[in-house]
Amino acid sequence: MAPKKNLRVLSGIQPSGTLHLGNYFGMMSRMIQYQRENELFCFIANYHALTALPDKDTLAQNTFYAACDFLALGMDPEQSTFWVQSDVPQVTELTWVLSSMTSVGLMDRATSYKDKISQGITANMGLFSYPILMAADILCFDTQVVPVGHDQKQHLEITRDIAVRFNHTYGKTLVIPEPDIEKTTQLLPGIDGQKMSKSYHNTIPIFAHEKVIRKQVMSIVTDATPIDQPKNKDTPLFHLYSLFLDETEQKELAQRYDGSGLRYGDIKLELFDRIMDHFSPFREKRDQLTANKKQVHDILHFGAEKANKVAESVLDRVRSATGIGYF
């Protein structure tokens, strides 16, 4: 008999663009670690991507490639539950139920909506009510723990508020999830120094052609400090390079920055080599997956079947509690 997993953990990722180092270090690698000791539920959030990606072919392609990326990097569909969001329709049903009892004022306080509008993303109701769909994603699977970065902390707080209100209104029905906040307060910087994000077009992709990755790495912003002067370590290049180093190597890099003679171009080339070496073992598997769409589809279908069973059990409780299940 397999050992019992500790906690049910859930997270999802949007296929709104090519997955990058920010996705990998911020979410993907953490999920692959979680599945070893916990009951992991992980999904490709294609409904969420609709809020900013209305192109049919691009969304379908990104969804497929995101699944391939995850599987290549170590997602185990036998050990975890791994699926595409739209393959579990109970989530949208729960979204409507939760929307019917969520105040507009709570949505108005969501800072993510304001941030995206300020970036020039067109306002729509999907973007405005995004936190309710996220709440449904979490609550539909009796999730106990949700790993989130500091930029997603408010969304989880909204989820908890909605679940507490639901339970207060209809009786204890939904599991109240706990956050697992990233220990680091440093958001992974993109090549321009802002948070690495597809929205900012400042990412370093995981599995792009090496010429694309090299171009992005060589474009990382640096300052004009003379070569014989110590360099500033609180910079995108230093932080990104440090992700690929062990503790001893990080100290050595810091010493190089504190000394003289360091050339940013040399550090960028070293970082490029580290990136290629780190992901090299996963590239062959990804190539195999992208060449076999049926295999990937079968894996996602298997995951959706497992997710559907859990979601339907939760929705049965919700329907009964609210009176939707009127028989």
Residues 32 and 170 in one domain: yes
Give the model's pLDDT for residue 102: 95
Residues 124 and 257 in one domain: no
Q: What is the pLDDT of residues 181-194, one digit of tens each?
A: 776 445 799 999 99
Residues 173 and 273 in one domain: no
Query: Is 196 domain-assigned?
Result: no
The residues, any chain, with a CB within 8 Å of residue 152's CB and separated by 6 or more, are 112
Q: How many residues does the chain have?
A: 327
CATH number, domain with residue 168: 3.40.50.620
Give the model's pLDDT for residue 1: 42
pLDDT band with cut points at 50, 70 and 90 for residue 153: confident
**Does the pLDDT value for residue 146 go beyond 80?**
yes
Name the residues annotated as catalytic.
Answer: 116, 195, 198
Residues 30 and 62 in one domain: yes
Query: Is 201 domain-assigned?
Result: no
pLDDT band with cut points at 50, 70 and 90 for residue 173: very high
What backbone phi and psi angles, to 5 degrees, belong to 38?
-130, 165
Closest alpha carbon to 12 in 30, 173, 293 = 30
**What's the rounded Cα separation, in Å, for the pair 204 and 233?**
20
Residues 160 and 308 in one domain: yes
Give the model's pLDDT for residue 319: 98
Query: Is 255 domain-assigned?
Result: yes
CB-based contact 175:139 (threshold 8 Å): yes
Give the CA-trace dihedral at 120, 123, 126, 131, to 10 degrees: 70
Q: What is the pLDDT of residues 72-105, one digit of tens each?
A: 999 999 999 999 999 999 999 999 999 999 999 9
Give the model's pLDDT for residue 53: 81
Residues 142 and 267 in one domain: no
Residues 92 and 179 in one domain: yes
pLDDT band with cut points at 50, 70 and 90 for residue 126: confident
Beta strands in the chain (DSSP E): 8-13, 39-44, 81-84, 145-148, 178-181
Q: What is the pLDDT of residues 25-66, one digit of tens each?
A: 988 999 999 998 999 999 999 999 998 888 999 999 999 999
CB-based contact 275:217 (threshold 8 Å): yes
Residues 309 and 242 in one domain: no
Query: Is 308 domain-assigned?
Result: yes
Distance of CA 197 to the CA centre of its chain: 11
Query: Is 202 domain-assigned?
Result: no
Q: What is the pTM of this model?
A: 0.90
At 289, which amino acid appears? L
Rounded (to 5) percent helix, strand, coil in the chain = 55, 10, 35
**Does the pLDDT value for residue 150 go beyond 80?**
no
Q: What is the pLDDT of residues 198-256, one digit of tens each?
A: 878 899 999 999 999 999 999 999 999 999 999 999 999 999 999 999 999 999 999 99
Give the range among 24-28, 102-106, 114-118, 172-176 with minimum mean pLDDT: 114-118
- Read off the tokens for 238: 């230093």
Domain range for 213: 207-287
Give the model's pLDDT for residue 2: 47
Residues 31 and 60 in one domain: yes
Give the model's pLDDT for residue 4: 56
Q: How far is CA 271 from CA 67, 73, 262, 274, in A?
A: 26, 20, 14, 5
Domain count across the chain? 2
- Read off the tokens for 6: 């500790």
Residues 129 and 215 in one domain: no
Give the model's pLDDT for residue 186: 58
Residues 230 and 176 in one domain: no
Return mean pLDDT, the chain: 93
Q: What is the pLDDT of residues 260-271, one digit of tens each?
A: 999 999 999 999
Provide the sign of the torsion angle of the four alpha carbons 232, 267, 218, 265, taken in this order: positive
